[in-house]
Structures are given as C-alpha cells and as structure tokens.
Amino acid sequence: MSKIKQIFMKQTDLFSVLIVLFWLKTYVAYLIEFELGVTGWLQHVILLINPLGLGIILFSVALFSKNKKRRTWILMGILLAATLLLYSNILYYREFTDFLTMNILVGSNNVSGALIASTIAMMRPWDVLYWIDVIVFLALMYKVKKGQSLIGSRLDISRKAAGTLLLGILMLVGNLLLAEISRPQLLTRTFDRNYIVKYLGINFFTGYDVYQTAKNSHIKASADESHLEEIVSYAKANRAEPNPQYFGMAEGRNVIVIAMESIQQFLIDYELEDENGETHEVMPFVNSLYNSEESFSFSNFYHQTGQGKSSDAEILTETSLYGLPQGSAFQTLGSSNTFHATPGILKSKANYTSAAFHGNVGSFWNRSDTYRQFGYDYFFDAAFYDLSGDRALEYGLKDKLFFRDSVEYLEQLPQPFYTKFLTVTHHFPYPLDDQNSGFPIAQTDDSTVNDFFATANYADEAMEEFFTYLKKTGLYENSIFVMYGDHYGISNMRNPHVAPLIGKDPEEWGEFQNAEMQKVPFILHIPGMDEGEVFDMPSGQIDVLPTLLHLLGIETDDYLFMGQDLLSPGHDSSVPLRNGRVITTDYTFISDRIYDNQTGEELSEQFTEAERLELLAERDRARMEMNHSDRLMSMDLLRFYQPESLTQLEPLDYTYSNQMDILQNHPEKHTSVIEKNDGHSTLELYETDAPEIREKMDYIYRPKPGLMERIRN
C-alpha cells in the first residue's frame, strides 16, 4: 500500500481531508461564483471561516454511528448532499443571481423543461472540481476490502466524535459572534440572502430558510376562509368613496413611481446655510413639483415602515397592507404569499405593462421573488446595469447613472406602463465621492447629518435630469408621477443634531419631535392639471394605492385594502405607525401619552379619565387596522379571496431573464417609445452632468460579465 493510500486509510485522516476539501471548494465558490459584496478584512475573515463550523458539525454526525460500514455511508451521504446543495446554488445563481430557497424547490414540480435546459446550459467544464472530493471518496469506497471502514472502528472513533462536534460548535459560535460584530441583528433584520451566505455560509442559510419556511407554513396551514370574515367586513366599512371631481383624472396614463430613498418631509423647501452664511436650496426640483398647480402634495404624510424599511414601503404603497411587526415581509413571506398588488391589478383592469428598476441585486430585500408574486412583468436589477469602477456606491448604481441607464429598457416598454424606480444614492451613511461633491455640507458635530443634505441634493438633480428626458420624449405629458419618501433618513438618535438646523432646541427634543420626523414627502404630479393643492390632513403610505387607482378611474370595491383614497371627502385622518404610535388630526398618541399636534405639549393629565379613555379607544381603533393586515399577511389569507376582475397570477411565469428579447418581440411593441421614434434609441436625448460619463454621449452600455450570454440563452 502506498504512503498516500496509508494516509487516506488512517481512521481520522480521511475525515479531516474531506473537511478541508469541502471547505476549500466552498470558499472558492464564494469567491468566483457568488457576488457577496465582501469588503474589509473582517468580512474576508468571516467568509474564510464560515464554511467550517456548520460543516464540521454536519460531517461529525457520521462519527457517532455504531456500525463501521454505516459510518462510511453516512459520511458519503452527508458529503453528497452538501455538495449537491452547493452546486445547485451555483447553477441557480449563474442564471438568477440569487440563492435557492425552499419555496423555489417546492415549486420545482411546476417548472417547465425550458428551465431544466437552461440549468444544463449554466454548467461549465471546471465544475468537475466541485465534485472532486465526492469522486475521491467513491473511489476509495470501491477500493477498500468488504466490510472495512474508511474512518476506523467505533472504539477508535467514538473518542474523537464528541471532540469534533464540540470543535464545530465552538467555530460556529465564533462565526456568529464575528457576524454580529460586523452586521448587528443579522437574523432579525434579514433583508438580503447574500448577507446570510456571506456571514454564515450556504449551509446555514439553507437551514435558516427551512426554519422560516416551516414556521410560515405552520401559520398558514392553520388558516382557512373563516379567518377572512372580520377582515372583509372591516375593509368594506373602511373604504372611502372616490371624489367624483378627481376620479379618472389620469385614466389611461403611464404611471411612473419614484421611491425617494430616505427623503424626509423637512427637506421640502429647506435651505441649508453654509459656513459663510449663504443659503442653498437642498431639493429645488422636488420642491417645484411639490408646490406645483399640477400636483397633489401632502405635508403631513407619514412613512409606516418597520424593520423592512424600503421593502415595507413597497408593501404599503403597492398592496395597501402593512409590513410585519418584526422582520421584512418581503424576506419572510414574499416568495410564497398571494398579493393583490398594483402591477397585477393594472394588468387585469387596463392591460398595463409593468417594470421595476433597481440598481442593486435582485436578492436585496428578496425583491426578485416578491416582484413575481406582485405580478411585475419585468425587473431590471443590477445584472442589467454596469456597476463597475466608480459608477456605484455601497447600495448600488448612483442615481444619475441609474436613471440614464434605465432608458435603454424604459423606451422598450409597451404603453400604458406602470414603472417603479428605486433610488439608492441618498442612503445611510450618505457617502458621496469627491467627483460628485460640491453641495455644502451641514455644520454639526455629526458627520452623517452633515452629509445627508449633499446626497439629497444629488438625488434631486438626478430626478430633474430624468424628468427633462421624459419631456423630450413626450412621456411626461402622458404620465402620472407618484413620488414618496420611503422612510426616515435621520434616526431618532441623531435627530437632536438636526434640531438647530430646522429651528428647534435640542434641549427640548423628545418623543413627540421624533414622531414628527417620521413625515416623508408624497407627491402626485399630473401634467396638465391645474387643480393642484397641498393637503395638510394626516395620511400615510397605506393610502397610496387606493388614491392612485381612483385617479386612474379604477374602482377598488373588490379589494381588501387597509388604506383609503386621500382625495376622498370620507378619508379617515388617523395614521397608525408600525411602532404603535398613532397620529390624528389633533393628537399624537405615544404609548398611553397624548400630545397636542400644534404645540407638542403632553395633554394626558388635562383630560378627565372618561375623555382620556375615549381618546385611547380612538387610538386602538386605528391600531386595529394593522392587526387585520398582519393576519392577512401572516396567514396568507388573500389566497382565499380572488376578486372576479383580477387575473390569477402564475409567479413561476416571471423569471426576469431574456427580458430584452421578450420586449423586442412583444405584440404591443408598436406602442413603445423606441418604436414611436422609428426604432431609434432615445438615449441621445438624455442629458446628464454625471462625471462618470467623461465626455458627452461617449458612453456605451457595457453589461456586467455574463449578462449578454444570459440574455441570449
């Protein structure tokens, strides 16, 4: 027997070699197959060690078997299953830039042969390296004498099993601690599958996904149609009749939604004073829309998001339901729940084409899966943009480049269309490189607050460039624009640093002022209208969808919306926030305390007990809206409620690959902007001062490596 074979035949050497081989191939896959966004030495260390902890634990299971032959087969089974899991994710990621979930696997029996063929096309010659340890182990199993164990006798192994398991547990705990240091609350605020894989590994992600799926399935399994009765009654009673003056005002128009990342209401009409005492309007373009006679704007409009942040804002504005009390609804429920969302409704009611645009990966907040459930026809994520070099910041493509590069896809969409653009540059911690700087920074002792205004100004300029392009193409006049701030940008901890900038005393800052800072802008801009107004009644993101549908001339009687039409005379101006606070026309409720909205003074002691209880009952009625929504979401009750006018979706039909081919062969292609421009791109009409484009019109679209191959396939 050769020396190499002797090493392999030793009772524990083979076990150790298999662990090392599996660790190495997993780490290699992390580096060359997955785009995990690893930055900094700590994240690199975590990525290096994360396959080991859970890997050792899984493989050590074989060491506890009493039967020596069974030990070999158990080890082989674990190795084969772990390798198959890794390789399946590699193939899936090559096609969809995402990781496999239980919902995808469970639904695989409905997947057509086309997807199987596509999977085979994703295979590469070097993939055999991912199976080399399996091949080696199988060869050794074939070579050894009958009945011989590859990992020693029980007497030899049993002494090592507990120690091996303990080592794996210690490494896993260490991995978890390092992950918590680098990314606090990783599992409670899960918003990107990439993050879990990057910090805890592909095996951990799969286990976590199985747990979450089982948890959600248990909740859903207990539900039936009877759970809908109370919610249906509430939704019907809660509905506000549309205002006939505005109903159908924007009928047949394109809808362009812009989710303004981290833009807060106090930025509207705000002028920042620089160190020389000169003032600078932070968002002059957005201000012009907000104050326009062609806009309905809302000065007391609140974000109602929770831990899901931007994704919660999308749930709220596109389904008129709330996010979850903990975690992200997109992440935990978005892959499997039934939704009655704007894209599906507009397609069923008025044959709208829908598309979402986002300069970050589709797995961020689980958007790819959730958009399928929403019924989006197209989703252009980071795979369809060039994010190389200085074109992107931490959260994706810079806004000026994002809007400009989206034109290539926007001009192909059949009209009427419903589109959503998710901006990212104005995102915490508000970095902006030197080539894009120029707007003054604020003069406080908090660098995050200081930079907040400069990135807001950059976002404002990006939107103005986009609108200028839309006017040149004729899209502007035939569209309605929905613009909203998705959530707060400055946290409660930093609010006192903002106080002097907005004329407040930091020493008098308290919970009421924090509640006021949850206001975000909401603008409905309708070119050609002259009935614009700035409304001051309390309102929230939950009200966006019914308001939009009524403006488009679409009735909402059939839907279970928690919000109301903001332009209806019957609108109820009670706004529950996800943290339990409630704002009404006169009062703000924070726990059991009641504040006057005009003065900010606490009034709790000024009411009789009966008056106080009556006001608190009003607060509780507003909160009940969230309870109904939470039951709808967690139990997936909309699967039992199918309006006759709404076409039932088949989410697996939406793969978001080959999108350009589909658009170029669309039967309604003649209605697109590019066809109305005699087949010529309108990109040359787009003007931007983005320094990343060095000379005017010298930019040639360069897709990320592998994109064109994916499109051709």
Q: What residues form the annotated binding site for Mn(2+)?
A: 261, 486-487
Contact 256, 467 (CB under 8 A): no
Could you tell me the two tokens for 542?
Answer: 């939950």
Which structure tokens are listed for 605? 């002691």
Are 599 and 671 in contact by the 8 Å Cβ rule? The answer is no
Q: How far apart are CA 246 and CA 257, in angstroms?
A: 19
Provide long-range contacts, Cβ within 8 A and 24+ apart, for 107-110: 107/652, 110/652
> Residue 489 — φ and ψ, nearest 5°?
-110, -35
DSSP string computed for 623-660: HHHHHHHHHHHHTTGGGG---TTSPPP-GGG----SHH
* Residues β-bridged to residue 396: 393
Tokens 């929403």, residue? Answer: 374
Q: How far is CA 149 from the centre of its chain?
A: 49
Encoded tokens for 632: 């709808």
Q: Is 420 helix (H, G, I), strand (E, B) or coil?
A: strand
Determine the Cα–Cα distance for residues 233 and 561; give it in Å rounded to an integer: 11
Alpha-carbon separation of residue 230 from 234, 560, 623, 628 (angstroms) = 6, 11, 15, 8
CB 33 within 8 A of CB 194: no
Nearest to 207 by CA among 80, 317, 96, 55: 55
Q: Which helix (H) or strand (E) holds 77?
A: helix 68-96
The span from the CA of 242 to the CA of 239, in Å, is: 9
Q: Quick check: 367 and 344 in contact, CB under 8 A?
A: no
Cβ contacts of residue 354 below 8 Å, gap of 6+?
A: 342, 343, 346, 347, 375, 376, 377, 378, 417, 418, 419
Q: CA 523 to CA 526: how far, in whole Å?
A: 10
The pair of structure tokens assigned to 451 is 């930079």
Q: How far is it, in rounded angstroms, from Cα 267 to Cα 279? A: 14
Instruction: For residue 343, give Cα distances in angstroms to 255, 559, 638, 657.
Output: 10, 14, 16, 18
Residue 388 CB coordination number (10 Å): 10
Strand-strand pairing, 295-298 and 392-393: unpaired
Q: Contact at 8 Å (CB) between 532 and 525?
A: no
Q: Given the DSSP bridges, would you call strands 301-302 and 539-540 parallel, antiparallel or unpaired?
A: parallel
Q: What is the SS3 assignment for 513? A: helix
Which residue reads 């209880």 in tokens? 613
Question: Which entry of 60, 262, 292, 310 is annotated as an active-site residue?
Answer: 310
Residue whose entry in the numeric block shows the structure tokens 């042969």: 113
Q: Which amino acids are annotated as binding site, given as ranges?
A: 261, 427, 486-487
Residues contributing to the annotated binding site for substrate: 427
Nearest to 586 by CA among 599, 576, 577: 599
Q: Per this entry, what is the length of the chain?
A: 713
Q: Which amino acid is at 590?
A: I
Element (H, E) at 378: strand 378-380
Task: Label residues 13-31 b or e (16+ Cβ within 10 Å = b).
Answer: ebbebbbebbbebbbebbe
- Tokens coding 545: 């969808």
Report yes or no: 566 and 543 within 8 Å, Cβ to Cβ.
Answer: yes
Instruction: Supply 569's token pair.
Output: 């005379």
- 310 belongs to the catalytic site: yes
- Residues with Cβ within 8 Å of 319's Cβ and at least 6 positions away in sequence, in order, are 339, 340, 341, 342, 374, 545
Residues classed as catalytic: 310
